[in-house]
Amino acid sequence: MEPLLVALDRVTKRFASGTLALDGVDLALQPGEFLSLLGPSGCGKSTILRIIAGLARPSAGSIVRPDGLEIGFVFQEPTLMPWARVIDNVRLPLDLKRASGAEAQAQAALELVGLGGFARAFPRELSGGMKMRVSIARALVTRPSLLLMDEPFAALDEITRLRLDDELLALWRSQGTTIVFVTHSVFESVYLSSRIAVVAKRPGRIAETIAVEGPVPRGGFRLSPEYNAQCAAVSAALDRASA
Amino acid sequence: MSRWLPPLVLGLAVLAAWEAAVDLARIPPYIVPAPSRVLEALVADWPILGPSLVFTLKTTVLALLAAVIGGGGLALLFAQSKTLERALLPYAIILQVTPIVAVAPLIIVWVDNRLVALLICAWIVAFFPILANTTVGLGSADRNLADLFRLYGASRWQVLWRLRVPSALPYFFAGLRVSGGLSLVGAVVAEFVAASGGEETGLAYRIFEAGYRLDVPRMFAALVLVSLSGIAIYALLSLVAWLSLRRWHESARSAEE
């Protein structure tokens, strides 16, 4: 068995308001996998992500995470600093760590998402999809072993979203990063993931995990009967979890 | 063009009506002077009014600088310690709500140097909008961005200078524009209260003095200079805000697109 990257053991989260957000979440991340957390809004998917990132603490249970694990985080909004140029946004994680060679690494990360020519632009000059690419470049600039994404394409139009799905898969294959991807779309989760964790609501918990079988790379996968069958299976799992 | 034309036309129409009314009704200039008389007074009394204008502007600009340093500095302190904010804010509010006319006589009694006394009065009036706005701005940084800074282990100092201060800039500039006008108000009010001639006197004292002599055209001339100063300060500060924010903030956008 491969070593685990991060493991959550019976993690429970109760907010200060008394709401039980998560109850007994067990989750083990395998290095190199693309795991989707799939569930309805308000089921605690984002809270699981924040706990993995260390931005929130479990109220009970434990989390095992190697020291110095390099984490990248992409929010639902691009979350760029509007006052800073694209290149300065991308190099922010390196600047905060006072790392050297930030400019070159940030430029390389921008090339990776196809925005090499926009380094000097301000965020407001970019489209929604481009801003999201900048946000992904910023998350990749530290070469993270773990990339956490919280419904990153939810606010984008479908055409842009499908293209970014493919770009993300290409990045995942070329960078060898482990990705945890939060979504409420069955279709997106089946298309992207190697594994799906279905999250049930109130309180949030992992109802089922489902391995996704599909060609890598995904060429034509969206139109195949296998894709449809797995979407149907995942949908059924989601229904069971919501019942 | 269409932005400047309507107020300009209206202003000229009012001035023409005023001139005609004074002329037709034969209103004596010691009651209401015609605009042309005011202009004459402005030119004829320039040797007296010019230096007064410079003095009032000097007080105003110095008070505004003090308000920026005092208001902005206090806001930065408040951002570092909630306890300090809770301790000091009520007193800042007391300074703000106490009418300056009521406090100015005390300050003028206590402080020997006239310029310094006037500065203190103008500062008391002017610093609060900058303090209040900047404090709100420093607390309004995007929460996800703040999380991102935390994720990458940013220090308090990095969070302050790279996140909170830039987030506060639009708020600071909104406060600055209000404070610019208030610095002038503070300077003029303090001069009225001090109401003493000396080697250096400001426009307010000239208004006071001219009123005493029933030289109403000169009163109007000095008043025109005070108003023009206020407009100039507002326009200048708006320009500074626009230059600083035009690349990224919505408030500075309309002029471009």
Q: Quick one: average pLDDT of A69-75?
A: 91
The values of phi and psi at residue A27, to 5°, are: -155, 130
**Is residue A164's pLDDT more than 60?**
yes
Report the b/e string of A4-22 with b at 16+ CB within 10 A. ebbebeebbbeeeeeeebb
Q: Is the backbone peptide bond immediately before B33 cis, with ω within 30 degrees of 0?
A: no
* Nearest-angstrom CA–CA distance, A103 and B151: 20
Q: Please, which pLDDT band fits residue B188 given cuts at 50, 70 and 90?
A: very high
Distance from C-alpha of B214 to C-alpha of B256, rounded to nearest angstrom: 49
pLDDT tens for each residue of B115-162: 899 999 999 999 999 999 999 999 999 999 999 999 998 999 999 999
Element (H, E) at A179: strand A178-183
pLDDT at B199: 62
Are B152 and A96 inside 8 Å of each other by CB?
yes
Does position A127 have pLDDT exceeding 50, yes or no?
Answer: yes
Chain A, nearest residue to B147 by Cα? A55
**Searching chain A, which residue's CA lies closest to the CA of residue B165?**
A83
In CATH terms, is domain B51-245 a member of 1.10.3720.10?
Answer: yes
Query: Is residue B162 within 8 angstroms of chain A, CB to CB?
Result: yes
CA distance A124 to chain B (A): 7
- Taking one residue from A and the other from B, the number of pairs with CB-CB distance under 8 angstroms is 48
Residue B23 touches chain A, beta carbons under 8 Å:
no
The ipTM is 0.89
Q: Provide mean pLDDT across the span A71-78.
A: 92
Nearest CA distance, B155 vs chain A (angstrom): 8
B254, pLDDT greater than 90: no
DSSP-derived secondary structure letter, B192: H
Average pLDDT, chain B: 90
Place of tokens 């990132």: A53
Judge if pTM exceeds 0.90. no
Answer positive or negative: Cα dihedral of B58, B61, B62, B63.
Answer: positive
Cβ-defined contact of B151 to A55 (cutoff 8 Å): yes
pLDDT tens-digit profile of B30-65? 899 999 999 999 999 999 999 999 999 999 999 999
Q: How confident is the model at residue A5 (pLDDT cuts 50, 70, 90)?
A: confident
Retrieve residue B203's tokens: 């426009």
Beta carbons within 8 Å of B133's beta carbon, 6+ residues apart:
B171, B172, B174, B175, B178
Return the closest-CA partner of residue A13 out of A64, A53, A59: A59
CB contacts, 8 Å: B166 with chain A: 81, 83-84
Can you identify the CATH homologous superfamily of domain A31-57+145-243? P-loop containing nucleotide triphosphate hydrolases (3.40.50.300)
Torsion angle defined by CA atoms of residues A126, A128, A130 and A135, in that order, rounded to the nearest 10 degrees: 110
The confidence score (pLDDT) of residue B257 equals 43
The residue of B142, B151, B158, B169 whose CB has the most chain A CBs within 10 angstroms, and thus the best one to mutate to test that interface, is: B151
Phi, psi of A20 (to 5 degrees): -90, 105
- Percentage with pLDDT > 70 across chain B: 96
Q: Using the 8-state DSSP alphabet, how is residue A151 labeled?
A: S
Predicted confidence at residue B22, as pLDDT, reads 93
On whether the CB atoms of residues B119 and B63 are closer than 8 A, the answer is yes
- Output the pLDDT for position B135: 93
- Best B142, B161, B248, B256 member to test A by mutation, with max A CBs in 10 Å, is B248
User: What distance in Å separates residue B145's CA from the closest CA in chain A?
Assistant: 6
Tally of residues, chain A:
243
Q: What is the pLDDT of residue A2?
A: 53
Tokens 């939060």 correspond to: A182
Residues from A contacting B (CB-CB < 8 Å) are 50, 53-55, 71, 73, 75, 77, 79, 81-84, 92-93, 95-97, 122-124, 142
Q: Which amino acid is at B86?
A: R
E strand or H helix at A53:
helix A45-53
pLDDT, one tens digit per residue, over B84-121 is: 989 998 998 998 888 888 888 888 889 888 889 999 99
Tell me the three state secondary structure of residue A38: strand
Residues in chain B within 8 Å Cβ distance of A136: none
Across the interface, do A55 and B144 touch by the CB < 8 Å criterion? Answer: no
Residues A24-45, mean pLDDT to the nearest whole number: 87
Contact by Cβ (8 Å): A204, A22: yes
| Region of poorest pLDDT, from A174-178, B72-76, B165-169 | A174-178
> Does the pLDDT value for residue A19 go beyond 50?
yes
Q: Closest approach of chain B CAs to the CA of A82, in angstroms? A: 6
Residue with tokens 């195949």: A224
Task: Tell me how far apart the alpha carbons of residues A28 and A66 are, in angstroms, rounded to a whole number.
Answer: 13
Q: What are phi and psi of A232, to 5 degrees?
A: -65, -40
Can you give the pLDDT at residue B210?
92
Is the predicted pLDDT of residue A189 greater than 60, yes or no? yes
Instruction: Tally the residues of chain B.
Output: 257
Flag if A55 and B147 touch (Cβ within 8 Å).
yes
Identify which of A196, A184, A187, A169 has the alpha carbon closest to the alpha carbon of residue A229. A187
| pLDDT, position A225 | 85
- In the numeric block, which tokens belong to residue B73? 């500095």
Question: B151 in contact with A at a CB cutoff of 8 Å?
Answer: yes
- Chain A residues whose CB is inside 8 A of the B151 CB are 53-55, 71, 73
Whether a cis peptide bond, with omega within 30° of 0, leads into B35 is no
- The distance of A142 to chain B (nearest Cα, Å) reads 10
Three-state SS at A182? strand
Report, as an integer, the average pLDDT of A59-85. 90
A-contacting residues in B 195-254 (Cβ below 8 Å): 247-249
Task: Give the per-residue pLDDT at B196.
Answer: 67
Cross-chain CB nearest to A79 (options B145, B150, B154): B145
**Domain coordinates in residue numbering, chain B:** 51-245
Locate B137 and state its tokens: 């701005």
Q: Residue B200 above 80 pLDDT?
A: no
For chain A, what are the domain ranges? 31-57+145-243, 78-144
pLDDT of residue A1: 44
DSSP SS3 for A9: strand
